[in-house]
Structure 1
Amino acid sequence: MYSKIEDLSIELWLEIFTYLKIRHQFNTFFNLNKRLNQILLSYQSHITLKNNDEDTQYILKYVSPYLIHRENVTGLRLENTNKVDLSNNAKLLYFPRVATLFLHRLHITKDFLNLFQQNSTYLRYLNISSIVSGDKIMMHQLLEIILSLSNLQTLRLGLRMSMSPIQLRISSKSPIKNLKLIGLNENFFIDRLIILLQYLPYLQSLHIITNQINFISTKNTDNISCTNSISSFTLNIHEFIVSFVQFTNFILRIIPYVQELKIICRSPVQNFDYLNHREWIMFIQSLPNLKKIILDISRNNDIDEQIWNKKCQMLIKLMIKNHIILQIVK
């Protein structure tokens, strides 16, 4: 019994298409027969548009206008949006069921904000890896839209955008459970983080990559109490300039129910402040839910290695006594 390649199951065709760009899929298989046309136009689930390159132009001209089930597109990646005419291509870029959205080298404009709103109703995962241009007002408007999304679960965002000093004009609470704020060369402000967390009562995991912690207050947040339920917190910092006591006070105020705590310092520490046995006793006694700590820190060459190792061992014994898992990454 003979079979033709056109008779392969839909599952096999979709597997084949995962190895080909959309342009190559259509150039190779479109118009071979009606069944293949149906598969190509009905089962596109992920689309990438970047730099207005050849693939992007092909998708906008030959693919998007003819998609049968636009709701099947659940993943979208946009790069260098300033090179695509978002206004005139708004209908071609409408995918009502996008659940995963990646934005890279983003240019925030009014047209982009309109496009984002029309495609974000069912968004569950959003990754904004870098912003090239956009004034403070536009970035603030985008942040308000993001925090108003009713289905968003995971957000990866630039630290600068999340630290907007402008008062948010939204009354709803965001369902976001996982938040990662990235700013290798930027400081994060405690008071602005407190304000942001007011809109994130369901947050479970918080990961901050920053240059420094800034305790200078630009707004009075003394009367604001944090009601989040963050259980996992990671701080990746360039260098510890703040004292361990300042840092622990920040944790106790912002993340009092933390269960897993990870501290990464990208530069060698200059003293034993973050290995102070007495301070750690008071700290862990104030965190009843704490179960695991990871310290990814290294000593400066001026610090005596034997004393450093001894203090690490003391901390390990302390955590064992309090039924807390401690990993010290050297």
Structure 2
Amino acid sequence: MELRKRSLTRQIDIDNSKYKSKKQKKNFSKIKSQIEDLSGEIWFELFAYFDGQSLINSFSKLNTSIESLLNDYRLPIHLNILCSNILIPYPLNSNQIISLKIDYSHINNNQIIDISSFVRLRSLSFISINDQQLERISKYSLNNLCQISIESTCAKFIIKIISIYFPNINRMILNSMQKEFLFKTFLHHQIKISQIEKLTLNGRIKLAKLARFWSFVPNLRSFSIINGGVHQCDYWMDEYIISHQKFPSNLSFIHINICDEDMSFSNLERLISKNVRYLIISGSMADDDLDDYLSSTNWIRLMSHCSNKLYRIKLDISSYFDPSDASGLQKTLSKFRKNPFFRNTIIQSKNFLITIKGYIQPT
């Protein structure tokens, strides 16, 4: 009898629960939600995926609520300029612009875009700008500017850009359009101490010039040379400059791309700061140097020269192997794969092109 009573009580509770659930669903179905009910923070998160013009094309004139958000000072805008007629699309305003990209490809060589009104500008990107235009822009007072990207042949004048034009910039990307990065002599009073902390060079630079470069960037923390990279300056080097180079004291991240097939492992070691914590080595080396790059002894020696803060070295390197020595290739691959030091790397060969990818780290 007691068991039957408990069963009936349980069934009543289940029925009541189902009734309440149905009632709640009916109440929810009566609530009409509108797109304007989304909070401003959610809208700002959505707007972050659009540049200024795309934002206006997609969301302007939908309703007054959304249009007021587009004009909100808190909304950061990224704007692209492709012609000499700079026009901020309504309802945006210049105080919202924090990132600006200007393509000078179709702009007169003697003309510059006046960006002095963009007081909140933090990031600036130029394409096909010439040196005269860049010099004139550098005279603008942009106190919040912290990052510059330049994709132009004038980017090869690296010292002028870093130490004269924009010495107060923290982060910089320079793409020299496959031109060699050059060092030009300037008067001492023209050069200011660069505040740059993160620098990416897209192009080629000679080993001796890179050794000279460190003295101009004492605050550098991160350095990358990619899509071109470091080469040895034919078959001679300025031994004195390289042997007396002084790395920035806080340089902890380095990405070196080797673009010259005569870059020996011993010269690669000379490119590495003792304070480095993260190191990336990419590019190609000569088959004569392959054994040195496959030697765990050499990599252990390189690591020992660095501080105990070195976390890992990422490898993405390649080299051609002598096509007439197929058996030697197999021995090389087998020896590398059996070496426990390289357990976190993969070595492959296709048409006698050897590629090594992965990472190594101190034990």
1:256 aligned partner: 274
| 1:127 shift after superposition | 1.8
Counterparts of 1:277 and 1:240, CA distance in 2: 20
Q: Give a deviation string over 1:204-257, Cα, whole Å, max 9, x none.
A: 221112254125557963655334321221112234312212222343xxx122
Distance (Å, rounded) in 2 between the aligned partners of 1:44 and 1:240? 46
Which residue in the other structure is 2:107 paired with?
83
Aligned pair count?
A: 303
The 3 A distance-change label for structure 1 pair 86 and 310 is same
Larger radius of gyration: 2
CA displacement, residues 48-80 of structure 1 (integer Å, 9 cap, x when unaligned): 102x2xxx74xx34649x965x33311111112
Give the deviation of 1:280 after TM superposition: 3.5
**Deviations, residues 254-293 of structure 1 (Å, cap 9, x unaligned):** x122222221124674531212344344333322333312
Q: Is the 8 A contact 2:155 2:175 kept in 1?
A: no
Conserved in 1, the CA contact under 8 Å of 2:262 and 2:286?
no
After TM superposition, the score normalised by the length of structure 2 is 0.65
For the residue of structure 2 that corresponds to 1:272, the secondary structure is helix
Cα 1:191–1:73 shift into 2, 3 Å: same
CA–CA separation in structure 2 for the residues paired with 1:256 and 1:135: 29
Name the aligned partner's letter for residue 194 of structure 2.
Answer: S
Q: Are residues 77 and 119 of structure 1, via their aligned partners in 2, closer, same or farther at CA, if it must alter by over 3 Å?
A: farther
Match of 1:95 among 90, 109, 118: 118
Shift of 1:182: 0.8
Bigger shift: 78-87 or 259-268? Answer: 78-87
Task: Give the Cα separation in 1 of the matches to 2:193 and 2:51.
Answer: 41
Comparing 301-310 and 7-16, the one that deviates more:
7-16
Give the structure-1-normalised TM-score.
0.71
Return the structure number with greater relative CO, CA threshold 8 A, min gap 6.
1
How has the CA–CA distance of structure 1 residues 35 and 231 changed in structure 2, closer, same or farther, with 3 Å as cutoff? closer
Among residues 163, 184, 189, which one is paired with 2:206 in the alignment? 189
Q: Specify the alignment match of 1:114 in structure 2.
A: 136
CA gap of 1:166–1:326, structure 2 versus 1, over 3 A, is: farther
Counterparts of 2:307 and 2:196 in 1: how far apart (Å)? 24
| 8 Å Cα contact 1:156-1:179 kept in structure 2 | yes
Segments of structure 1 that go 5 or more residues without pairing to the other structure are: none
SS of residue in 2 equivalent to 1:228? coil
Q: Say if 1:47 and 1:117 are closer, same or farther in 2 by CA, change over 3 A.
A: farther
Question: Which residue number corresponds to residue 306 of structure 1?
Answer: 331
CA distance in 2, matches of 1:295, 1:87: 44
Query: In the TM superposition, what whole-angstrom CA distance separates every residue of 1:31-59 from its partner, at most 9, and x where no partner exists?
Result: 97699368438546221102x2xxx74xx
Choose which of 178, 189, 203 in structure 1 pairs with 2:198.
178
Structure 1 Cα separation of the partners of residues 303 and 187 of structure 2: 34
Residues 5 and 140 of structure 1: CA distance in aligned 2, closer, same or farther (over 3 Å): same
Counterpart of 2:316 in structure 1 is 296
User: Is 1:180–1:206's contact at 8 Å kept on the other side of the alignment?
Assistant: yes
Cα RMSD, aligned residues only: 4.1
Q: Quick one: distance in 1 between partners of 2:56 and 2:174?
A: 33
Name the CA distance, whole Å, in 1 between partners of 2:43 and 2:110.
31
Offset of 1:181 from its aligned partner? Answer: 0.9
